[in-house]
Copies of this chain bind each other. A is one copy, B any other.
Amino acid sequence: MFTAAFEERIPVLLKGPTGCGKTRFVEYMAWRLGRPMSAAGKAGNGDAPSQALPVVTVACHEDLTASDLVGRYLLEGETTKWMDGPLTRAVKAGAICYLDEVVEARKDTTVLIHPLTDYRRLLPIEKRAQILEAAEGFLLVISYNPGYQSALKDLKHSTRQRFISLEFDYPPRGQEAEIIAHEAEVTDKVANDLARLGEKVRNLREHGLSEGVSTRLLVYTGKLIRKGIPPRVACQSAVVWSLTDDQEVQRTLEEVVSSIFE
């Protein structure tokens, strides 16, 4: 589906809970489509701007403005120099631009997203009175977490209907165990137990947990166990205390932990 969308240059919206692998999915697809994540661009010396990032990821937040994405003029000694923002770099390089949790961003990003997502594929750079046409490989991918969805922070329909949507959920137990075994370098037994824990915890979501446990936290737990931390202690730090401050819910979670790691 992502491949078809990419070939037709249809913008993609990824929906799903925290830590289920949306960012990794985008990077994986970029690699499959022949556009591997480059290690360049990580700065060595002070002043050279990063270059050639086929996947440009931006974690959006409440204070992110259009200028943060497009670029701005910077003073440099007595002259000013234009500095491309991450979206402009992606548009020029024909990279995939991934705006993570885009509903968090300020609304002036709308003016950038709309003309990039219809047949025009244009990025207006108002500060330079310029309109950039997106390079061949450019694709806009955004994500959002319907669990956070509220009247204030919902994606506007006029934005939303510019994307096809892919719904994500946590991986099934067997697959998650494999991921944990590989990433945390633990035995299959531990990995399986942690995947079972994940499954059980997510089924508790209606018992006061606003969000299930992410695969990432299960991997953290595995790593702590590998380091010699007793499993139940590791689960308490990386799962129970990380998920909730409510003592009632903590006790319920601890019982789930005890039922697996006796």
Binding site for B on A (CB under 8 A): 1, 4-5, 7-8, 10, 13, 15, 18-19, 23, 41-43, 46-50, 57-66, 68, 73-80, 82-86, 89, 100-101, 104, 106-111, 114-115, 118, 122, 125-133, 145-149, 156-158, 160-167, 210-211, 213-214, 216-217, 220, 223-224, 227-229, 233, 237-238, 241-243, 245
| Contact A1 B84, beta carbon cutoff 8 Å | no
| Contact B133 A42, beta carbon cutoff 8 Å | yes
| Contact B220 A61, beta carbon cutoff 8 Å | no
Interface of A is mostly: mixed
Nearest residue in B to A106 (C-beta to C-beta)?
B63
- Whole-angstrom distance from the CB of A42 to the nearest CB of chain B? 5
7 A-B pairs with C-beta separation under 8 A: A61-B107, A64-B111, A76-B80, A77-B78, A147-B157, A163-B242, A164-B241
> Of B49, B101, B233, which one neighbours A128 at CB under 8 angstroms?
B49
| Contact A50 B130, beta carbon cutoff 8 Å | yes
- Whole-angstrom distance from the CB of A148 to the nearest CB of chain B? 8
6 more contacts with CB within 8 A, not counting A63-B108, A165-B237, are A43-B131, A57-B115, A73-B74, A74-B80, A83-B127, A161-B213
> Of B64, B238, B245, which one neighbours A164 at CB under 8 angstroms?
B238
| Contact B115 A59, beta carbon cutoff 8 Å | yes
**With A1-B229, A107-B63, A115-B59 as given contacts, are A216 and B73 in contact (CB-CB < 8 Å)?**
no
Complexed CA–CA distance, A43 and B167 (Å)? 36
**With A1-B237, A111-B59, A224-B1 as given contacts, are A126 and B164 in contact (CB-CB < 8 Å)?**
no
| Contact B241 A10, beta carbon cutoff 8 Å | no
Which residues of B sit under 8 angstroms from A216, Cβ to Cβ? 118, 161-162
| Contact A211 B157, beta carbon cutoff 8 Å | yes
| Contact B166 A237, beta carbon cutoff 8 Å | yes
Which residues of B sit under 8 angstroms from A83, Cβ to Cβ? 127-129
| Contact B80 A79, beta carbon cutoff 8 Å | no
Complexed CA–CA distance, A234 and B246 (Å)? 36
Nearest residue in B to A11 (C-beta to C-beta)?
B220
| Contact B162 A42, beta carbon cutoff 8 Å | no
Complexed CA–CA distance, A166 and B237 (Å)? 6
